[in-house]
Homo-oligomer: A and B are copies of this chain.
């Protein structure tokens, strides 16, 4: 668990430079290093992990960012196994509180207590999403026959068309904030369907058991990047943001906060909104420019509080909340296993996040604990400790959880998402075919980008002196 040491400053040329030591960049670097490639990872922050970060609070380890893993997320599960990081089921018992459409109710069983009409609306709407999503080609939402039509509509418009009651609409609006960390107005229907497609349903996107929130990592998700970094000692340069990429026929020169370095290939493994800030010469192709400009980050603050015990469990409460009021769109019982303190965690996302961030710290705390109290009972207003992680104010993330394409992005420029630009390859969870935005997507993207680079280098090495463009490359002219 020692922080990775800084690589020697005399590295003038490497085979592969990776921009960003988040999970995706580290996975790519590990894969490249395992094939004997000479690789260096440049990281702006003074830590690895990107949107994954363990924090010590009230004597226990919590996670400031991504933390869940669920069924179907096989790549991150395999990685965790390889790294010796176990998982455990997140606490998921009792009845979640539903606070939507001006009503508050306790869920019992899989269906929300909406009355038969509203429940039918929700079920039929979800079924429409599942059936429509099944027609999409996996990993390439822009390739379906109706892609442009589905991409031309916001999720807000879809909600208004498919749902009529205030409560059912509230369920989907709140769900959108929880899953996408953005407002339904800001998300294209095609993007929602992309998620339903890879999650193989609507429920898995919001569910604990059987869903994306099913399990957690023993010792915190931060152990994944930390262990990857331990295996890459000497190959990671912390506190060294990459500012500029200059590409020639046979190499890329990186300018960082500390100097320059050249590489045969580069993997950019930062969110699109950050990749958009790199100075790249020659200028990136117009479609790539558009793609990077049109994947703005969502809005997310993660709030957590600790209590002597998870007292709500004794009251038969789940500690879970789904809300379209906010500030927390969702609250979870985030207590680690063992006899330590009880923990509640909330996602403050979308519109409520920006409102929340205009409050002073005392009011933010009171507002968040209000959500917790509605999930777990009034005692939740008196925590032992309370912490916030504002990803929107972090200059090396600039939003959270991830990039969210608005309407008309996927169908116009989605096809260049994973296309290298000359010697520049693209990783990061926002380039995944499945589990876009999730830990699993970060792993998939890192592995894929590493494989592209290995292929490129293998071909080039086999033909020394040749200036061979990568088969899939959109080489700037």
Contacts and interface: CB of A to CB of B under 8 A. Distances in A.
A356 to B, nearest CB: 9
Contact of A289 (B290, B392, B413): B392
B407 A293 contact: no
Interface string A135-156: 0000000000000100111101
A351 interface: yes
B398 A293 contact: yes
Contacts of A299: 286, 290
A393 interface: yes
A354 B286 contact: yes
B184 A412 contact: no
Nearest to A182: B408
Contact of A185 (B148, B183, B286, B392): B148
A185 B408 contact: yes
A286 B412 contact: no
Nearest to A243: B243
A273 interface: yes
B153 A390 contact: no
B154 A152 contact: yes
Contact of A399 (B182, B184, B281, B290): B290
A188 B151 CA distance: 13
A153 B156 contact: yes
Contact of A409 (B186, B395, B411): B186
B285 A357 contact: yes
Contacts of A279: 395
Interface string A173-215: 0000000001111101000000000000000000000000000
Nearest to A354: B287
A353 interface: yes
A412 B154 contact: no
Residue from the set A277, A390, A407, A413 with the largest chain B CB neighbour count within 10 Å: A407
A130 interface: no
Nearest to A186: B408
Interface in A377-404: 390, 392-395, 398-399
A152 B148 contact: no
A411 B184 CA distance: 12
Contacts of A293: 273, 296-297, 398-399
A340 B407 CA distance: 45
Interface string A291-316: 00110110100000000000000000
Interface residues of A, number: 49
Nearest to A296: B293
A407 B183 CA distance: 10
A276 interface: yes
B412 A351 contact: yes
A105 interface: no
Contacts of A294: 186, 296, 406
Contacts of A297: 290, 293
A111 interface: no
A412 B273 contact: no
Contacts of A359: none
Contacts of A409: 186
A6 interface: no
B398 A289 contact: yes
A104 interface: no
A120 interface: no
Contacts of A290: 296-297, 299, 354, 392, 399
A283 interface: yes
17 contacts: A153-B157, A154-B157, A182-B408, A183-B412, A186-B406, A186-B412, A285-B393, A286-B299, A286-B357, A286-B390, A287-B354, A287-B358, A289-B392, A290-B399, A293-B296, A406-B408, A407-B407
Interface of A: 148, 151-154, 156-157, 160, 182-186, 188, 273, 276-277, 279, 281, 283, 285-287, 289-290, 293-294, 296-297, 299, 351, 353-354, 357-358, 390, 392-395, 398-399, 406-409, 411-413
Q: 10 nearest interchain CB pairs?
A: A185-B408, A406-B406, A293-B296, A186-B408, A152-B156, A286-B392, A152-B185, A185-B407, A154-B407, A277-B277
Given A152-B157, A286-B393, 16 more contacts: A152-B154, A152-B160, A152-B184, A154-B408, A186-B408, A273-B293, A283-B394, A285-B393, A286-B299, A287-B354, A287-B358, A290-B296, A294-B296, A294-B406, A354-B413, A406-B406
